[in-house]
C-alpha cells in the first residue's frame, strides 16, 4: 500500500546488574537518580518516541561508540546545562527488531576531573577499559 509505513519494532534491554552499577551508585534521593528512573519509565514505555541521537563513532576523548545512541536526561532537554546527564545504549538489529541495550548512565560533561563521563563509561563497558 503506497504511503503506508511499517511500524518499528524496538526492544529495550536494561540489565539489572548494569542498572545497579550505573544508577544504583547514585544516592537514593539524588536528582540524577530520580531523573534516570523517570527516563527509564519513558524509555521502556515509549522507546520509539524518545529523542535518541547517534553517538560519535570516534569521540574527541578517545571513545569508540560505533552503533550506539545517546539520550539526554532529563528527556527533552538539550545542551549540557539543561541536560547534564545521559544514557548510552548499544544499537543492533536482530531479525526485524531493533535492540537497544543499556551501556551507561552518568554525567555528560562532568566538572570533577575524577568523574568519568557517560561516554567513557559506555566505552569501558564495550571495550573492557576506559579510553586513553
Contact criterion met (CB below 8 Å) for 74 and 34: no
Q: Determine if the pTM surpasses 0.95.
A: no
Average pLDDT over residues 46-74: 94
User: In terms of C-beta distances under 8 Å and separation of at least 24 residues, what long-range contacts does 85-94 make, across chains too?
Assistant: 85/32, 85/35, 85/36, 85/118, 86/118, 87/36, 87/39, 87/43, 87/118, 88/55, 88/118, 88/119, 88/121, 88/122, 89/12, 89/52, 90/126, 91/67, 92/67, 94/11
Q: Which domains does the chain have, with CATH numbers?
A: 10-127 (3.30.2310.20)
Q: What is the pLDDT of residues 110-122, one digit of tens each?
A: 999 999 999 999 9
45: pLDDT strictly greater than 60: yes
Which pLDDT score, from 0 to 100, does residue 4 have? Answer: 55
Amino acid at each position: 500500500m503506497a504511503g503506508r509505513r511499517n511500524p518499528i519494532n524496538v526492544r529495550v534491554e536494561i540489565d539489572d546488574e548494569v542498572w545497579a552499577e550505573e544508577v544504583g551508585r547514585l544516592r537514593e534521593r539524588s536528582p540524577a537518580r530520580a531523573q534516570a528512573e523517570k527516563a527509564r519509565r519513558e524509555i521502556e514505555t515509549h522507546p520509539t518516541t524518545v529523542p535518541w541521537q547517534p553517538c560519535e563513532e570516534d569521540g574527541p576523548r578517545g571513545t569508540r561508540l560505533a552503533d550506539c545512541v545517546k539520550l539526554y536526561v532529563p528527556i527533552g532537554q538539550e545542551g549540557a546545562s539543561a541536560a547534564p546527564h545521559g544514557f548510552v545504549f548499544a544499537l543492533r538489529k536482530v531479525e526485524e527488531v531493533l535492540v537497544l541495550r543499556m551501556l551507561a548512565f552518568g554525567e555528560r560533561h562532568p566538572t570533577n576531573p575524577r568523574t568519568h563521563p557517560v561516554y567513557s563509561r559506555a566505552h569501558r563497558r564495550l571495550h573492557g577499559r576506559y579510553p586513553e
